[in-house]
Amino acid sequence: MTAYTSDFLNILAERGFIHQVSEPDALDARAKDGTLTAYIGYDCTAPSLHIGHLLPTMMLYWLQQTGHRPIALMGGGTTRVGDPSGKDETRRVLSEEAINENLRSIRKTFSKFLKFEGDGGNAIMANNADWLNTLNYIDFLRDVGRHFSVNRMLSFDSVKLRLERQHELSFLEFNYMILQAYDFVELNKRYGCALQMGGSDQWGNIVNGIDLGRRMNNAHLFALTAPLITTASGAKMGKTAAGAVWLNADLVSPYDYWQFWRNTEDGDVGRFLKLFTVMPLDEIARLSALQGAEINEAKKVLATEATALMHGRDAAAEAGDTSRKTFEEGSFAGALPTVEIARAELEAGIGVLTAFADKTALASSNGDARRQIKAGGLKVNDATVGDDKMMLTAKDLTADGVIKLSLGRKKHVLLKPV
């Protein structure tokens, strides 16, 4: 590992954030001497960021922590185009209103990690729609387009893959890399931004921006990419049955978020502690050294620290507490997801199938609930359901005044009469 002299690169390197860096020595000197401004681009195709965005966001966090200036660039303009990288299919194009809606929602997530201007910090949230939407096509072609060689563009993986597999690549998408390169140049001009970071798949796009900056403005720009994070068993990170692990609390509750980290594979714990928490490295080293069942302690720390970063210390503690009661003591606490039902309805009696499929959506349909019963996967108040005609009534309420429904060992919902 290269020894850096700047705090910023040192921390990123020690914690495993660095995959590739352009001109490491020059960047290191730059980060040591003064304030470095760097950006990461985000799509806004969804109303929330997900786990996959967390890693780059942590890089912005450390950037700010080490005295520099982060820019979160929202792709309000490029989202209307769609990055072809790593995808076979054309991305659907969102309406402008939907994009703006998503943008607002995502901004809240950033504010947990970054201190923005007007909030006691220097972080900037930019939107490339600000400059892309008003571009004049002819001017753009003349000023920017002439610096791009189609021969070279065709050699990029993102394009080559599509062509080789004979999938359609529209001209619109073909232009994505040009727009991203232009973003970098524009941010350099506006804010003196000198570094673009991103996932390893972004290397080509970032380097394009560096080249364009040099050709247009003789600017000296840098690239830094993070490794692609897969789990120890090779799966892509953050994919669960329920879909993506979102960062917004209303999409994935702090409890579920905590559980996500708690269920990390053994082999990933040390790496994840370094990447997704801000704990000191010596403490992480101690936790990572735990063997066998003891590593569960490290997983709990990981879950709590990661959740605290995202949802706050209190929510993390509550999620940890609920989890302990649920899994270790066999009881439960209030932070489990709760679904309210009318008391009268409960008194009249609710079929188990209805309770699991309609009320709580633990099962996807009555048929699914039936199948789960046959497989022994459904529990009411921790007792396995054996009969799909079973009725739930007020008599099933526990001392806490709720009914606990479980699918498998990990998914629990409380049914609460109101």
Partner RNA sequence: GGGAGAGUGUCCCGAGCGGCAAAGGGGGCGGACUGUAAAUCCGCUGGCUAUGCCUUCGCAGGUUCGAGUCCUGCCUCUCCCA
Contact residues toward RNA (CB under 7 A) are 166-168, 232-233, 235, 239-241, 259, 262-266, 292-293, 295-296, 299, 323-324, 326-328, 357, 364-368, 370-372, 374-377, 407-411
Nearer to RNA, 91 or 190 (CB): 91
**Shortest CB 351 distance to RNA, Å:** 9
Residue ranges of alpha helices (H) inside 293-354 are 295-311, 313-323, 343-348, 352-353
Catalytic pick from 53, 311, 359, 404? Answer: 53
Catalytic pick from 15, 30, 50, 299? Answer: 50
Nearer to RNA, 57 or 322 (CB): 322
Please say if 166 is a catalytic residue. no
Residue 119: phi and psi, rounded to 5, are: -125, 25
Please say if 180 is a catalytic residue. yes
Residue 2: phi and psi, rounded to 5, are: -65, 140
Nearer to RNA, 112 or 410 (CB): 410
Dist CA 202 CA 208 (whole Å): 10
Catalytic pick from 19, 32, 91, 300? Answer: 91
Please say if 134 is a catalytic residue. no
β-partners of residue 413 are: 405
Please say if 239 is a catalytic residue. yes
Catalytic pick from 236, 374, 395, 409? Answer: 236
Dist CA 399 CA 304 (whole Å): 29
Nearer to RNA, 164 or 282 (CB): 164
Report, in angstroms and rounded to the nearest whole number, the Rg of the chain calculated over CA atoms: 25
**Shortest CB 240 distance to RNA, Å:** 5
Please say if 107 is a catalytic residue. no
**Shortest CB 321 distance to RNA, Å:** 10
**Shortest CB 344 distance to RNA, Å:** 20
DSSP output for 25-76? HHHHHHHHHS--EEEEEE--SSSS-BHHHHHHHHHHHHHHHTT-EEEEEE-T
Torsion of CA 314, 315, 320, 326, to 10 degrees: 130
**Shortest CB 172 distance to RNA, Å:** 13
Using a 10 angstrom Cβ sphere, with 0-12 exposed, 13-18 middle and 19 or more buried, the burial of residue 13 is middle
Catalytic pick from 7, 143, 157, 201? Answer: 201
Please say if 412 is a catalytic residue. no
Please say if 189 is a catalytic residue. no
The amino acid at residue 212 is L
Residue ranges of alpha helices (H) inside 144-248 are 150-153, 157-164, 171-174, 176-191, 203-217
Structure tokens at 298: 């490290």
Please say if 201 is a catalytic residue. yes
Nearer to RNA, 217 or 364 (CB): 364
Q: Which residues are the active-site residues?
A: 45, 50, 53, 87, 91, 180, 201, 236, 239-240
